[in-house]
Structures are given as structure tokens and as C-alpha cells.
Amino acid sequence: MKQNLLILLILFSFSLVKAQNNQLSGVITDQRGRLIPFASIFKVNTNIGTSANSEGVFKLSLPLGEHQIIATAIGFKPKTVSIVFSKSDSIIIQLEEETYTLQEVIIGNNREDPAYAIIREAIKKRPYYLEQSSPYTANVYIKGLQRMLKAPKKFLGVNIDELSQDMGLDSNRTGIIYLSESESKISVSPPKDFKEEMISSKVSGNNQAFSFNRTSDLQLNFYENYQQIIEGLSTRPFVSPIADNALAYYQYKYLGSSEENGLIINKIRVIPKRKAEPLYRGDIYIVEDAWRIHSVNLVLDKETNINFIDSLNVKQLFIPIDQDVWLPSNVQLDFMVGLLGFQVSGYFTAVYQNYELVNDFDKKAFKEVLRIGKDVNEKEADYWAAVRPVPLTEEESKDYVFKDSIQRRNNSKAYLDSLDRKNNRFKPISFLVNGYNYRNRYKKETFRLGSPLRSLLFNSVEGLATNYNLVYSKQIDSTLNKYLTLSGYIRYGFKNEHLNANLIAVIPVKNHTFYLSGGSDVVDLNDRGSLPVLFNTVSTLFMGENYQKLYEKTFASAQWRYTLPGNVNVDAGFEWANRHSLSNSTNYTFADKNNLTSNNPFNPNMDVPLFEDNSATKFNVGVSYNFSNRYESYPSGKRYLPSKYPLLSLRYTQGLHNALGSDVNYNLLAASIYKSGASLGMYGSISYAVYAGKFLNNKKLFYPDFRHFNGNQLPFVDQKLNTFLNLDYYHYSTKTKYIEAHTEYNMSGILTSKVPLLRKLKLEEIVGLHYLYTPELKQYGELHLGFQWKILRVIYAHSISDQSILNKTNTIRVGIKLF
């Protein structure tokens, strides 16, 4: 009774709207009156269609007169109803649960389940359906919603109760935390070419934002062997139930068949063969004889070893566009997340409308993958009421109204000033640990004082020192999201009683960026920054090993960067510097034995200068290209998408003799090839880098001008792709020529996922090779093997060299990803 009353109230509320919009409104229920969310509703033999909302309510724009309407949902029999539509009509469509009839098939101990024969036929037809669809355009409406189901009262000292009020949550800290809508026009030329133009976008509580809704994120094509659903969800792509090699990953069970519009639809249960593999479980529906996908209802969960969410339910329903072309009518992703006392559920649902098959597209049109114009978030409520195919629920309507009022309040100068007064209060303990932020939201500027404790460091040159940071930032272009940033460092060594200070300015001008800096600083002799300051502090104080060697420079520099049409990046820079060699000022450590060496890496027992004081004026110019001609257009500008090809770079550096008193005279030409995380599908990913260079002229240069390499001598390492795990930081730098190569293969859990005790750890197996040649070092190589878990890795490294002192070195390293 309550259910029927609810349906009548819903129908009545929509009858007030449809009289103005010529929209048929209705409710989709099952035979017991229970609402069916997100059902599809179409006018028969047309592309006119819509989807019900989460409460089973729908609106369908129709001309007045006679129509046949078909409603369908996964797990229910489609139902066709005939109506004579007038402005006062509201309807209830009841769907009957689908019954799948098991054919008379005897499955004995030696008999194969009939599902396998159906799946084999679908696998055979997979390449055909992947390629056969004609090019088409369509309109796509997407709604995204996330709901807080549970939250603690406090988290890490933050009052969640207070925060939840500003988010529009109720007294129990539950409710909608994100609501957005978008409509786009897509152009598709199967199998790969795709373009989306966002027509309108709406985010509850933020009329300046663009929704996260992207049709490309919901374009899940199960005719492809693998699906990359959400970046970071898995280290490997997910295997389609009808992939070429699907029988090696899945078991199948035949659940029966049903008839729909003269077609036989087979329901097949999909069962992963192994846990912790990127595999779906659930149901796939295959059309008899045509062997095409009718629909899917598949789940990814913790047994799949997915990251950052607990479960993801993928639903997809196809409709015939013409005799041999079936395309999605709606796609839905439902997810659940639970972490640290928070529990969130949500969904993204996409409704495809107005399909139009076309003969062909200009391939150049697909270089622009996404376009979001400046005015897409400026549509008014009346516009959305007219075009929105999925009605808002009462809760969603209230969320828009409430959060719009919050936004108006939040954007007022009085509120922003009051918020700043509260947040800008100076707290001594917080300042010591985390620093202090002073923010003026109305003027869109921020001033930050760094943490005094985090600025502390220790080395043998300065003893205990501070490298204190201050930053000022102001937004100068809200449309392009451009910021003017000024930052400075004040460095003081308490033992050598020496003060250094420098200033850095980042200035965006249209599509150009200028970097200006100057002052004095204490810097590493190795300009590759191979030894992080934190690691050197720990090594010096606790291990008695002062590996980092430093010098002082007074400098002024300027750098310019710009992206040319075609995604060619160019930059040029100029630097003048006075450079001074430094000596140790302390032998203090916490270690029992004092092993501190001098600040000269080539004369560790005598603190003599590595180089004489000198001036250096240098000019450099570089160009890089990553072969990517596909891009997304935003109001803030273009963003080129990653390419499957490597980044190629070429750089020329000139040491300008006698310019501004410069003592150096050299030319260096360097080239590189770099690619990170190139996907190998189910077999993980590979990264590689090759660097080569030659000093065309080395008449006069000093050690800081040498080509340096990223070495390591500590048990723990901030390992990057170009890190040598056993190479000395300074001894093998060169002023002649070099070839440097690195590669790392991440197996993404291919082996560890098959070991029950290791599955939950989500360990990734890694194998790396490293090579270096210089005339001084000759041949040097490394092999490393290990496991990675999040930001940590444990690695066994073996190195071999033409030099006997480096020959066959074996070490264990602990990798820590600092950034």
C-alpha cells in the first residue's frame, strides 16, 4: 500500500511539469510494485529514448498522439505498451522478472556445460563486432552521484560534524557529497576513433566547475580483449569474458535462455578461475545465432584485488540501431568504498540517445578527443528541466537548491573574510610541524611559511642547518587557472655560520611560462640530485657516512618554456654563477665510529678544494616531442594525451667563455629517449630510458659542469628509473662522452597473485637492467630484482664492470618513493 502511494505521489509531481514540456512521465516497477531503477525506455523503432532514475521515474519527450513504448531492464522481460499521448498522461509500466528456461541438456561428469559452446561462438564473432559498426554520432547524458553512508565524528583532528554541515549532510553525517550532470555529443568511428564535445555541465554547489563525467570513461567495449576502466583501479587491464584467451581465465555456467522480440537470449554465468586476477564475475547475455552481446551485469570486488574501492558493478544494455548494428542504450557503474571509518556509495549512469549512422568521418577530426567550451557550465535551471532525460529525485533537487545557496554564501566577501579569519589564526605548535598558511580567498592569494622543523638538515659542511621556505601565490587568470608564484629560501649553517638566500619567480604569460631566480645557495656537486637531503642527514648522523658533497654558488638565471603547435615543447635558459668550493666544518655524528670524509670526493682524507673559484655563464636550449597528436581542449587550454611512443629530447648547452667574466668554455650536445609505464596488457608494463651525449668542446670546464649520473651508496634509495643502485655518486662523472640506458619491467603481480599468502599484499614483481659507458669507466652494468608494495620496494642488485673495484657487487636495497 505504501509502495503504491509513493508511486502515485511521484506521478502527480511529474504531471505538473510535463504539461509544459510535452514529456510523458511514468514509473517502472516490478509485478509487486517495487521500483526498478535505471530501466531503459524507448519509442519502438526509433532512437528516441531515456532512462529511469534511481527511483524508477522517467520522462520521455514525445509529440502528442499514438506511440508504442518499450521498457527494459537487465533481469526483466521487455514490455511494449501502446499509448495515446496527451498532455495529462502519466503511466505505470510493470515489468515481469525474466525466467530463463534450461534446455534439455544433460551435463554428466564428462559432458561440457553448454555455456562453453556459446562463449566460443561469441569469441569467434568478437573481431567482427569490434570492427563492423558503422561510424556514428550520438547524444549522451551522464549523471554522477556519490553518497556518504557513514562517517566518524572526528578524523585526524578534523571535526567531521562541522565539515559535514558545509557539505549539506544531515546530523548523522550522511547524504549526497557529489552530484553532477552533463550532456555531450560523441562521434565514433570504430574501433578506436572517438571524440566528445561537452554541451553542458552542472555540478551541485559549484557553478564554476566542470563535471567529472566523461563519456570516454564509460565507453567500455567488451568486444575488446581488455578494458582499462578507471586509472589506478588495477595494475593490469581487465579480461573481457569473450576475449580471445578468455577460456584460460574463466569458467562458464549456462543459466538458461529467454525470448525477446523473436530473438533467443542466453544467460551465461561468468566465474573467474583464480582469485586476485583482473577478472569479472557475474552474467553476460548472448544473442543466439548472432552471438553478439545483448547485455552485461558484471562485478569487480576485493577478490579481484582492485585498488581504492571495495566493489564496482558494471551494467551495459545494447539496442539495435539498424538490422546489424547494436549500440549501448545505457551504461552504469555502481561502486562502494569503505576506508578509515568512512563509507561511500555512488554511481555514474550514461543514457545514449539520437544515434545517427554516418558514412565516414575526416580522421583529422579525432585528434581533438574532448572539447569543453567556456560556457558549458552556464546553463540555467530551465534549460536543464527541458533537456534532462533522467528526472531528478526529490533528494537531488533539494541538493541543488541547498548547495547553490551554500555557494552564494561561500562566495560572499563577508563569508570568505570570516573563514579566513578563522583559518588564518596562528598556532605555534602547528606552525613548528606543518608551517603556516595565510590565505585571502576573496583576492585569491596565499602566503605560506614553511615548517621550521621540516626545514632542518645536517651535513658535514654546514653542521646543523635550516633551509627555510616562503611562498606567495596569486591567481592572475581564473579562466586559464594561471598563478603567479614567488618563493624564497633562507639557508643558514649553524656550524659554519654562513647565510644564503635566493628567490624564484614563476610567471605565466598567455601560453608562455617564465622562471626567474637569483641569490646564493649550497648545492650538490652532482646536479642530478641523486642523494636526497633527508637521506644524507640520516646517513651522516646515524651511520657516520657523509656521502653528499656540496659547493656554494651565487647566481642569476632565467628560463622560458612554450609548447608549439603539434605538441612540440621548446625551452631556453641562461645562467650566470660564481662558484666556490666548500670544506667540512664538523666531524660530529651519533655513530660510535667517526667515518666522515672530506668534502672532496676525490681526496676523502684531505679537505682540499675540488676546484678553484670560478665564474660560469651558460646558455641552453632544448626541444622535446612525444608523438602525441591527440589532445583535450579546456577553457584553460589544450592538454595533450600520453602517447604510446617515447618522449624524444635534444638539448644543447654552451659554456660562454669571457661572457660576464665567465671562465668556462665548452659545448655539450645531449639526446634522450624516455617512456614510463608502457602497457603490456596482462603482462604488466615496461619503462625505459636512453641518454647519450658528447662534449663537442671541453677546453675549460669545472667539476659542476661535468655530466653526472644518478648513483647510490646507501641501503635505502629514492629509486627512479635512471638510478644506478651501486654506483658512486661522484667518481664516474664525465667531461667527454657517455651512453646511459635503463629499463624496468613491472610484472604487476603475475606471479605473486597466484600465491595465497601474497595476494592480499598486492606485491608487484620488478626486474631492471642498467648500463653506462664512459671512456673513463668503460662498461658498467646492473641487474636488479625485487618486489614493490605501494611506495616501498625491496631489491637485490647485482653489478658488473670492466673496472675490478666495481666487478660483481651484490647488494640489498630498500626503495622509498619520496615523490
| Per-residue pLDDT tens over the stretch 216-241 | 878 888 999 999 888 788 888 999 99
Specify the pLDDT at position 87: 67
Specify the pLDDT at position 724: 95
Distance of CA 124 to the CA centre of its chain: 34
Cα–Cα dist 73/812, whole Å:
57
Which residues, 6 or more positions from 37, have their beta carbon under 8 angstroms from its beta carbon? Answer: 52, 53, 54, 55, 56
Is residue 260 within 8 A of residue 275, CB to CB? The reply is: no
- Region 2-95: CATH code: 2.60.40.1120
Phi-psi region of 734 (alpha: psi -120 to 50; beta: other; left: phi over 0): beta
pLDDT confidence band for 73 (50 / 70 / 90): confident
Number of H helices, E strands in the chain: 9, 43
Closest CA to 16 of 72, 90, 79: 90
Helix, strand, coil abundance in the chain, percent, nearest 5: 15, 50, 35
pLDDT confidence band for 448 (50 / 70 / 90): very high
399-409 pLDDT per residue, tens:
888 888 877 77
Specify the pLDDT at position 639: 85
By percentage, how much of the chain surpasses pLDDT 90? 48
Distance of CA 375 to the CA centre of its chain: 26
Specify the pLDDT at position 21: 47
At residue 479's C-alpha, the angle toward residues 478 and 484, to 5°, is: 45
Which residues, 6 or more positions from 612, have their beta carbon under 8 angstroms from its beta carbon? Answer: 581, 702
Cα–Cα dist 93/86, whole Å:
17
Specify the pLDDT at position 806: 59
Residue 16 confidence (pLDDT) above 70: no
Which residues, 6 or more positions from 128, have their beta carbon under 8 angstroms from its beta carbon? Answer: none
Cα–Cα dist 545/554, whole Å:
28
User: What DSSP element (H or E) covers 258?
Assistant: strand 250-260
User: What DSSP element (H or E) covers 296?
Assistant: strand 293-301
User: What DSSP element (H or E) covers 571?
Assistant: strand 568-581
Closest CA to 646 of 625, 667, 666: 625
Cα–Cα dist 760/768, whole Å:
24
What average pLDDT does the segment 463-476 reach? 95
279-307 pLDDT per residue, tens:
999 999 999 999 999 999 999 998 888 88
Residue 495 confidence (pLDDT) above 50: yes
Half-sphere exposure of 450 (CA within 13 A, CB side): 16
Half-sphere exposure of 474 (CA within 13 A, CB side): 7
Closest CA to 688 of 674, 667, 671, 700: 674
Specify the pLDDT at position 47: 72
Q: For 428, phi and psi rounded to 5 degrees?
A: -55, -45
Cα–Cα dist 169/173, whole Å:
5
Cα–Cα dist 409/35, whole Å:
37
Is residue 34 within 8 A of residue 52, CB to CB? The reply is: no
Cα–Cα dist 468/452, whole Å:
7
N-to-C CA span, the chain: 59
Q: Are strands 342-357 and 325-339 parallel, antiparallel or unpaired?
A: antiparallel
What average pLDDT does the segment 664-686 reach? 94
Residue 20 confidence (pLDDT) above 50: no
Residue 743 confidence (pLDDT) above 50: yes
117-163 pLDDT per residue, tens:
999 999 999 999 988 777 889 999 999 999 888 888 777 767 777 67
* Ranges 133-147, 164-178, 584-598: which has the least confidence: 164-178
Label residues 633-666 b or e (16+ Cβ within 10 Å = b). bbeeeeebeeeeebbebebebbbbeebeebbbeb
Is residue 41 within 8 A of residue 28, CB to CB? The reply is: yes
Q: Are strands 40-43 and 65-72 parallel, antiparallel or unpaired?
A: antiparallel
533-557 pLDDT per residue, tens:
999 999 999 999 999 999 999 999 9
DSSP letter string, 32-80: TS-B-TT-EEEETTSS-EEE--TTSEEEEE--SEEEEEEEE-TTB--EE
DSSP letter string, 178-245: EEEEEEEEEEEETTTEEEEEEEEEEETT-TT---S--GGGG---TTSSEE--STTS-SSPEEPTTSTT
Topology given in CATH for the domain delimited by 527-816: Porin (2.40.160)
Specify the pLDDT at position 759: 78
* Entry pTM: 0.85
**Neighbour count for residue 732 (Cβ, 10 Å):** 21
Specify the pLDDT at position 504: 97
Specify the pLDDT at position 207: 65
CA torsion through residues 626, 631, 634, 635, sign? positive
* Ranges 216-225, 500-509, 596-605: which has the least confidence: 216-225
Distance of CA 614 to the CA centre of its chain: 45
User: What DSSP element (H or E) covers 464?
Assistant: strand 463-477
What average pLDDT does the segment 627-647 reach? 86
Domain spans of the chain?
2-95, 117-393, 527-816
Is residue 265 within 8 A of residue 110, CB to CB? The reply is: no
Is residue 547 within 8 A of residue 536, CB to CB? The reply is: yes
Specify the pLDDT at position 109: 57
User: Residue for cell digits 583482473?
Assistant: 278
Q: Give CB contacts under 8 A, 24+ apart, made by 597-600.
A: 597/546, 599/460, 599/461, 599/549, 599/550, 600/549
Half-sphere exposure of 78 (CA within 13 A, CB side): 22
